[in-house]
Amino acid sequence: MGPPGAGKGTQGELLARRLGIPRYSTGDILRQALREGTPMGLEAKRNMHAGELVPDDVILGIVGEALEHEDSEPGFLLDGFPRTVAQAEGLSRLLSDRGQQLDAIVDMSVPDEEIMKRLSTRGRKDDLLETIKRRLEVYGAKKQPLLDWYANSGVRIVSVMGVGDIDEIQAYILDCLSL
């Protein structure tokens, strides 16, 4: 978990490589669908460009499909998902069907001013100033209910400040996860 520009992708990639498991980023999968012009990409486009969330059923469809890959059997890392309580509930159903459970959540925080600085130089289509602001608002509104839901369900939550050296942040995450 983390706001846009927190470094979820960077840290997630390092962690997944280290663990030898796949990383599924709903944002990356949606952007790919958008590039390919698939029906799902077209459906998601408007929400993505406006900085709004894509509907839960679309997202749960993506994740359900990803988890069917054979290489996700030993475990996997989810990047940018779940983002709502409904998605967390959907994930918990998907996992219990597979006899798996969530080991931990890595919750990355970065101050808003730092995010605005990072994203305004990144240049992706959804990195326009107004869109960034909206994405931050949406993230801010959904974050706490989601963390509360997971705290109630007893999942380990690791909180990380995503500012500073990439390798040091990764080392801290590994340490918190006892890896």
Return residues touching ligand AMP (CB under 6 A).
Answer: 4, 26-27, 30, 47-48, 51-54, 59, 80-81, 83, 87, 126, 135
Question: Is the CB of 25 or the CB of 179 nearer to ligand AMP?
Answer: 25
How long is the chain? 179
Output the smallest distance, CB 143 to ligand AMP, in A.
12
Residue 131: phi and psi, rounded to 5, are: -70, -40
Residue 140 Cα to chain centre, angstroms? 14
Closest residue to ligand AMP, Cβ-based? 27
3-state secondary structure 76-145: CEEECCCCCHHHHHHHHHHHHHHCCCCCEEEEEECCHHHHHHHHCCCCCHHHCHHHHHHHHHHHHHHHHH
- Residue 117 sits at the vertex; the CA angle it makes with 114 and 118, to the nearest 5 degrees, is 85
Output the smallest distance, CB 142 to ligand AMP, in A.
9
Question: Is the CB of 132 or the CB of 169 nearer to ligand AMP?
Answer: 132
Are residues 59 and 81 in contact, defined by beta-carbon separation less than 8 angstroms? yes
Question: Is the CB of 52 or the CB of 107 nearer to ligand AMP?
Answer: 52
Question: Is the CB of 23 or the CB of 135 nearer to ligand AMP?
Answer: 135
Output the smallest distance, CB 29 to ligand AMP, in A.
8
Output the smallest distance, CB 54 to ligand AMP, in A.
4
